Amino acid sequence: MSSIREIAALAGLSPASVSLYLNDKSTTRVGPAAKERIDAAVKKLHYHKNIFASTLSTQESKLIGIIIPSLMPLFGNEYTNTLLTGVQSQLSERGYGMLFFPSNAHTSVEIVEEQIHRSSGCDGYVLFSTGFCTQTQVEKNILELQKTDKPFVTLNIPEMDSAIRQVLIRDLEVCSGTRYLLERGHKRIGLVLGRTGGVHAKKLYADHRDILEESGIPFDPQTVVYGEYSAEQSYTMVKKLLKQHPELTALNCMSDIMAASALLVAQDLGLSVPEELSIIGRNNSLHARLASPSITTVDLHIEEAGKSAAHLLLEAIAGSTGGQKIIISGTFIERETVRTLQ
């Protein structure tokens, strides 16, 4: 409400002096007596500098636009939230804030366009990936971001042009659940993915198939099922899968929530875990730890990925040029749902 002009008037100074002092308390361009008067006036009028005016003047907002191309409610899934936690922690250390401009458009491309459009003027962007967007959509999002001429970084989007600043959570070579199960003697492995067409699900599908075939095990598309990242849907689909394919000795699930749901199915079908069915999850979320038996999973270091992304972006804003790619590897968290076959 109160402006720098009012402070200046109350302190008997010009706005310039007030601004000078407020932005550098130890400036020599304002005398000690004047400093005290400014402090008093600020206290009296509850003055806070207006970020909008200040951004306009300095051309620096200290604000990062968070772009989440999700049709689902934000903050509704653990994966995104953990990523956000990481981003946020790094940003706050460097004094940056976050801008969310949600949209209620109906396609993920429109959502991103609107988000970018409305947050125009902030210092950079983080583009999240969600299981709900396809490769084509992602590419359009990137194009849109490039038009802004501001630095941005993409978070865990597979198959990305490497000229783009990005943080990638790699699980294939290093820590595929399928490979883990294979190494423990499993040959009939079901796959529980998120959403058909989603970038992540597609990647995991291909990985699963390739790894099986490399090992000389025929891949049966019928043993792949989509749980839509939801507990209900996963329950239904896994139940159907296990009934139709009783030969399966293990399930590789794309998320811990889906793994926990699979565990419930096993219990309801009277299959003991891990004796009759092994289950591996992904994410190392609380759901895996609190399940009983506790679920073996792969820790994707999601929070760290968020931090790295923010770090990369901040470097870019500070002037470092060129694309850069950070790859985060997962690690297995061995718990009680995987059995080694003889």
Residues forming the site for a copy of itself (CB under 8 A):
1, 46, 48-53, 55-56, 61, 63, 73-76, 81-82, 84-85, 88-89, 91-93, 97-104, 116-121, 147-149, 231, 257, 260-261, 263-264, 267, 286-287, 289-292, 303
Q: How far is the CB of 123 from DNA (least distance, A)?
A: 14
Strand order of the β-sheet with 189-193 is: 224-226, 189-193, 250-253, 278-280
Q: Position 338: which residue type?
A: V
Q: How far is the C-alpha of 300 from the C-alpha of 285, rounded, in Å?
A: 10
Q: Is 4 in the site for DNA (CB under 7 A)?
A: yes
Q: Which does 46 bind (CB under 5 to 8 A by kind): a copy of itself, DNA, none?
A: a copy of itself
Q: Which of 192, 202, 44 is nearest to 138 (CA)?
A: 202
Closer CB to DNA, 30 or 238, in the complex: 30
Q: Which does 104 bind (CB under 5 to 8 A by kind): DNA, a copy of itself, none?
A: a copy of itself
User: Cβ distance 259 to 281 under 8 Å?
Assistant: yes
Q: Which does 136 bind (CB under 5 to 8 A by kind): DNA, a copy of itself, none?
A: none
Crossing angle of the two packed helices 231-244 and 256-269, in degrees rounded to 10: 50
Q: Position 334: which residue type?
A: E
Q: Which does 31 bind (CB under 5 to 8 A by kind): a copy of itself, DNA, none?
A: DNA
DSSP calls for 29-61: SS-HHHHHHHHHHHHHHT----HHHHHHHHT--
Q: Which does 30 bind (CB under 5 to 8 A by kind): DNA, a copy of itself, none?
A: DNA
Residues 6+ apart with CB under 8 A from 129: 69, 138, 154, 155, 156, 157, 199, 200
Q: How far is the CB of 8 from DNA (least distance, A)?
A: 7
Distinct helix (H) and strand (E) counts, the chain: 14, 12
Closer CB to a copy of itself, 12 or 76, in the complex: 76
User: Cβ distance 333 to 299 under 8 Å?
Assistant: yes
Q: Is 246 in the site for DNA (CB under 7 A)?
A: no
Interaction mask 9-38, DNA, x per CB under 7 A: ---xxxxxx-xx-xx----xxxxxxx----
Q: Is 58 in the site for DNA (CB under 7 A)?
A: yes
Q: Which of 244, 240, 238, 245 is nearest to 260 (CA)?
A: 238
Q: Which does 20 bind (CB under 5 to 8 A by kind): a copy of itself, DNA, none?
A: DNA
Closer CB to a copy of itself, 151 or 158, in the complex: 151
Residues that bind DNA (CB under 7 A): 3-5, 8, 12-17, 19-20, 22-23, 28-34, 47-50, 53-54, 56-59
